[in-house]
Structure formats: structure tokens, C-alpha cells
Structure 1
């Protein structure tokens, strides 16, 4: 079974899925370093024979039509400039009748484009997380349909969780596991970086990047608390079977 991981990063899920299912998994990535690192990790766990990578843009995949038996994307296609475009490419490389599953970052139905606070949070989310334009759950579903998919299941998995998904980013008490997200953790981390920069032991701009990432985390928490953003919108879709030719 040949499976495509769209926007695979260094391939953490790719390796777990290959090991768990014995499928042959191909990761699509446009970053040379991440591909190189992924190949090293594949080799280190003995998965070089079943896991591989293709360098390419998921808006224009260097892959023939109808190649894969399944495909998935984990927090990847939300970065696409055009949802219909990326879903159409996934549709193209899937065999007829096969499934595509994705976990997408989306705005929920609670998002109000006329609400100034909502607009501000949306802008911070996009800036801090490299998102061109966060789509709503409804827009994602429609884009999949426009690309030709049959949508089997669409569900915000955050609604199933007994705890808020953003809780690790906003711990209410001191925690060794999530210490870096606490106020004191941030203060100590930024103070350390400032000292290291001053001593030229850290690259110039490290503190600025740290503060930028902290703002990004804050935007995720704000979006979660307002209920206008979810990083756990799950969709399962199918590429329809090709119409059989009419018998003569």
C-alpha cells in the first residue's frame, strides 16, 4: 500500500504510520534540510526501505496521476495559498476510490469577521504561524468538494477533548513539562537569551525571535479561549470511483 504524507516535515508521523501499518509512505516536502534529516531518522530506525521523500511544492506535485492508495496531511495544507489548488493536487495523485484524511487549522463557526477582536486574533495567528489566510471549517469542506472529493466525515476533534487543547500553552500553575510557557519560564528564558546575545554566545536577533514566538503562542491561546480557532479540524474524504464506460 502506497501512502502520501503531504507536507511531512522531518517525518515523525510518517515513520510511526509506516511502522504501525507496514505501508510504504512517501513524504512530500520542499525543504532540503528537512528531507535530509528525515532520511537520517528513517535509517536510524530501520525504515529506509518503506519510507522515502519527494521534494516538491504541494501546489504542483512532481508525482504522476493516480499514484497513491491513500493520502493524509497533518497541519500542513493550512499553509497553502489556495485550498482548492492543494486539494486538487492531492485528488489528482490519489487512485479512484481512495481516501484522504487531514487535520487542519481552521476558524470555527464562532468567528465573526465583523468583530474587531476576532479580526485582531486572526491576524496574529496568521502572522505568528505563517498562515496566508485562515479558512473556516465550512470553507475547507467546500474547497474539498470543489476539488472533486466526497466528504465522508468532518469534525472538530477539539470538541471531543475533556480539556482545552490550548491548556499546555497556557498552564495555570508551575509545571516542569510546560515550564517554558509559564510567566516565570518566559521571563527566565528571555533573560538568558538577552545575556547570551550580549556575550555573543547566541546569534543576534535570538531574543527578538523568542518574543515573536511567544506572541504566536499567545494568539493560539486567545483564539482557543474565544472559541474561534481550532487546530484539530479532522476531515475524511474520498476520491470517487471513475465512471465505468457504458457497455456497447
Structure 2
């Protein structure tokens, strides 16, 4: 039985690697999101678009049922992988190499705020030099590079997308961090690591892609050493969210559509999942509710009054309604001229839908992308060791 499972897993990896090659070619090693985007394989891109959007096309919020959500969660791994096949280059172009939100303070640039958010999580967990750390859902490795430089630890990045792993490894090599970073392919619902493998574990806005939080948190608990700390910035609907309220459901579904998520749950569900997994909850807090002078969503809303650096102008301009309109028309034109792969505009439109609903969810206190939970795996007692 175990041998058959291993063979199936190897077949899946071979299939994914072949698809990655057909879609991305050598674009993982190209500098810049747009440069990488325009060199995709057209047929593979169309297959990725069809596979991803089958979960969303012609499925309005008013028609959503428990069964349609169940169908999405059943295919979470493929859904997430294809989403990042489509969106990674656009993320890098529009946002950067750290695929997450953050809090802002007066006097800091966008990139400084992003890095501070990463350092804060490392501080909350107590990561330090010599530790063996796991980054669950590492993206293209932006946070891992920063935390490794900040703390001196060694980080293993886990990811189910071959393209992102290639880009993460290329960036680590460029920055001379190969001795501090490694990146592996895997499903965070069934990790290949042995029990008690890591001194500390973190996840930054990644475990929201899990079909159920208790499942991924339980796997994290398993591979974390006794006494080790797990810290997560989780995407959650607040407990004000009412799924029977159509407006609320439209916001959630818009976020899920544009961010490759099968099922966002509420804060109370997230806290319960940590307890079910076995963690001793040390701290939990919605950082989005801190009385910061600058809201976390201001770049998405294009609110220029919060701009603090001229170097952030291009990034914020892309988020405004006219910036997005120009970008989408340009993407459509490039697609028509076969300079960009098919589905580029459709993917960009879905990201714009998510952007609008993220802002709406924040302003209506229905959604947070930074619910901080810090948990400890109980240490072994002498009687149980």
C-alpha cells in the first residue's frame, strides 16, 4: 500500500514537472514579472486557465451551496497550484517578492513595512541563529530570505508549485543564501518530513489555501519538535461575517476567486483549529485591528494620502482604478497580439476582483489577512519521553 502511494506521488511530481516545463520553460530564471510572463507556453497556459476558472465561472454568490464549496476544497492542491502558475508573475510585477500584506507606520517605505512585518513574526516565534525552521507555503522565498538574514537560522521552504520553487532557489542563489535556505516540493496537508523535524515553524498568509485549517495545523504540529513554536498570519473572516448575508458572501467569494482559495473560515474556526491540532495557544490577535495611523489596505485602495516615498509611486499607481484599467487593456492587447499568453487578462481581472473585495472586507470589518496566532507544541515530560 505504501509502495503504491509512493509510486502515485512520484507520478504526480513527474507530471507537475513536465507541465511546469511546458508552461514556464526557463522563465523562472528571468528577472522581472512581466519578462517572465511573456515567455509562457500558450497551450499550457490555456490549460491552467481552464483548470483554475472551472471552479468560478458562472458560479454567482447567490447560487453557492455547501456542495460547491466542498468541490473546491476537494481539489485544493490543484486549485492552488494552478492559481500560482497564473498569478506569480503578476504578483511580482504588482507587489514584489513577498506575497503578503502588512501594517504600516509613518516614515517607512512599502518594502520596509513588508520586511518589518516578517521580522515581527520571527520575533514572536523566537527564531534565532542555529535553528532549523520551516516556512509553510514559502512563495518565491521573499520572507524566508529576510528572516534568514535577520536571525541567522536555516529555513526550509515548502511549496506545491514547481515554478515558485525554481524562482525561490534562483533568488537565494543570487543573494548568496543557498547555505541558509532550501526549497522543497510538497503538500502541506501531508508533509514528507519526519515527526519532530523543526525547531520552529511559520506560515505567512499561506495556510488559507488548506481545505481545513485543523488538517494543516495538525501536520505542522507533527513535524514541529516538542516545545517548538508555530506562528501564523492567517487570512480569516471575522466573527461579524454572516454567510447567509449575500453581501458578505459576495465579498468572501470575490476574495477566494482572485486569490486561489477554496474556503476561508472565521476567526473562531481558526482558533479552534489550533486547539484541535494540539497547540498551547500563547497569543492571538487581529493585527488589522491595531490603531495604526495607516490602514493595511491603503495600497490596494490607491489612497495616495498615505504615500511616504516617491519610490512607491509606480506600485501604488498600478492599484488605482486608472492604473488597473490601463494594465488590463495593455494585457488584453498583448494577449491579442500573442505577446502575452492566453488568459493573462482574465487572470488580471480576477486579481482586481479580489483587490476590490479585500478592501471592502476590511472596511466592513468582515476580513483580516493578519490574524496572528502563536502556539507551542507541549514539551515531552519525562514519563512520556
Compute the TM-score of the two structures, normalised by the length of structure 1: 0.93
Number of the residue aligned with 2:353:
215
CA distance in 2 between partners of 1:54 and 1:184 (Å): 39
Number of residue pairs the alignment of both structures matches = 246
Give the structure 1 partner of residue 381 of structure 2.
243
Identify unmatched segments of 5+ residues in structure 2: 1-130, 306-312
Which residues in structure 2 correspond to 1:135-146 (within 5 Å)? 135-146=265-276
Partner SS state of residue 178, structure 1: helix
Show CA shifts across 1:115-172 (max 9, x none). 2211121121122211111111111111010010001100011111322221111124
Asked if the contact 2:257/2:350 (under 8 Å) is kept, the reply is: no
Q: Which segment drifts farther, 221-230 or 174-183?
A: 174-183
Alignment partner, residue 204 of structure 2: 74
Match of 1:123 among 244, 253, 261: 253
User: Residue 164 of structure 1 aligns with which residue?
Assistant: 295
Alpha-carbon distance between aligned partners in 1 of 2:140 and 2:356, rounded to the nearest angstrom: 26
With the length of structure 2 as denominator, give the TM-score of the two structures.
0.61
Q: Residues 105-124 of structure 1, C-alpha deviation per residue, up to 9 Å, x if partnerless?
A: 00112212232211121121
Cα distance change of structure 1 residues 200 and 30 upon mapping to structure 2, 3 Å threshold = closer
How far apart are residue 204 of structure 1 and its match?
3.0
Match of 1:87 among 214, 217, 235: 217
1:34-74: CA deviation from partner (whole Å, max 9, x where unpaired)? 21221121111111112112221100100011011000000
Cα distance 1:141–1:121, how it changes in 2: closer, same or farther (>3 A)? same
Does 2:197 correspond to 1:59? no
Secondary structure of 1:138's aligned partner: helix
Greater share of helix: 2
Looking at structure 2, the residues matched to 36 and 187 of structure 1 have their Cα atoms a distance apart, in angstroms, of: 31
Instruction: State which of 204, 220, 228 in structure 1 corresponds to 2:366.
Output: 228
Which consecutive aligned stretches of 4+ in structure 1 deviate over 6 angstroms post-superposition? none
Partner of residue 199, structure 1:
337
Q: Secondary structure at the match of 2:239?
A: coil
Do the aligned residues in 1 keep the contact of 2:190 with 2:219 (CA within 8 Å)? yes
Q: Which runs of 5+ in 1 are unaligned?
A: none
Summarize the alignment of residues 26-45 of structure 1 with structure 2, pairs less than 5 Å apart: 26-45=156-175
The separation in 2 between residues aligned to 1:158 and 1:228, in whole angstroms, is 11
Q: What RMSD, in angstroms, separates the aligned Cα atoms of the two structures?
A: 1.6
